[in-house]
Amino acid sequence: MSETNPNLAFGVDIGGSGVKGALVDVSKGEQVTERKRIATPQPATPDAVAEVVRQLVEAEGWDGPVGITVPAVVREQVTRTAANIDQTWIGTDVQELFTRHLGGRDITVLNDADAAGMAEARFGDDKARTGAVMMLTFGTGIGSALLMDGNLYPNTELGHLKMKGSSAEKYASSKVREDEGLSYKQWAKRVNKVMQRYVELFNPQTFIVGGGISRKSDKWVPYLDLEQDVVPAQLRNEAGIIGAALAVSEGLRP
Ligand code: BGC
């Protein structure tokens, strides 16, 4: 498949356990090929992961633009942090890396929560594109995206806010819920404390909550007690892939 349809771009979401990708129609915010997943190689070095991205893209015979999310800060297309991925990502020029593996084409690499936030603002609930919005993704870590009327301020790392002698994500990520065997109610209490801290500091109008756990939002969102509206992500865990495709099609290069 080639680049003849300007609405098509391939989105890839790199996570700690899986690398997922699909071709996306960015005019509709829909995946047009079945989402494929390859286990994240271990160690998850940049070259090993980029090789898996190449396999996903080639499996669809796609030679057009590719947007890629990473669970890290990406500033000027260089990865600056690596909280839940291999440390060798720090300082990696991701344009150079993915161009080497995917060949010359449009490539954008951005933070995973930023991609999810962009996708929700464009294709999710109306509230996601209205006013000051904080998107949070709960998974291995806690990802964050700040949006004002749908426009992104990239690379906020609110999961690393100091809390309880540690950090917000070490206290209330969805991994912590599993590792400590917390009930949804117990976990929601922790999430509420984290979100209250965010309210004190940022006062968003609306929270969008996503990540894998957004599928089960009815089990924990009702326990949250905040002034703000808390809206479960509409695109569920497809938001990263769709946001990545959207970012590359719009020429965004954080
Ligand atoms: C990383 C963020 C990422 C989040 C969700 C955090 O540990 O620092 O960059 O967005 O996890 O994957």
What are the pLDDT tens digits along the chain (254 aa)?
555 789 999 999 999 899 999 999 999 999 999 999 999 999 999 999 999 999 999 999 999 999 999 999 999 999 999 988 899 999 999 999 999 999 999 999 999 999 999 999 999 999 999 999 999 999 999 999 999 999 999 999 999 999 989 999 999 999 999 999 999 999 999 999 999 999 999 999 999 999 888 889 999 999 999 999 999 999 987 999 999 999 999 999 98
Domains of the chain in start order, with CATH, are 8-114+239-249 (3.30.420.40), 125-233 (3.30.420.40)
Which residue has a Cα nearest atom 11 of ligand 1? Answer: 141
Positive/negative CA dihedral, 43, 48, 50, 51: negative
- Give the C-alpha separation, 146 to 150, whole Å: 9
For residue 70, how far is its CA from the centre of ligand 1 (angstroms)?
8
- Give the C-alpha separation, 219 to 217, whole Å: 5
Q: Which two tokens stand for residue 198?
A: 């965010």
pLDDT at 73: 98
For residue 1, how far is its CA from the centre of ligand 1 (angstroms)?
32
Q: What is the DSSP letter of 120?
A: H
Which pTM was predicted?
0.97
For residue 146, how far is its CA from the centre of ligand 1 (angstroms)?
14
pLDDT at 214: 80
For residue 40, how far is its CA from the centre of ligand 1 (angstroms)?
16
**Residues lining ligand 1, judged by CB closer than 6 Å?**
71-73, 81, 83-84, 111-113, 137, 139, 141, 143, 157, 159, 169
Q: Is 160 exposed, middle or buried (0-12, 13-18, 19+ CB in 10 A)?
A: middle
Q: Kindly give the number of the ligand 1 atom that is closest to the alpha carbon of 113.
A: 10
Residues whose CB falls within 8 Å of the CB of residue 98, separated by 6 or more in sequence, listed in order: 50, 53, 66, 68, 107, 109
Q: Which two tokens stand for residue 11?
A: 């989105």
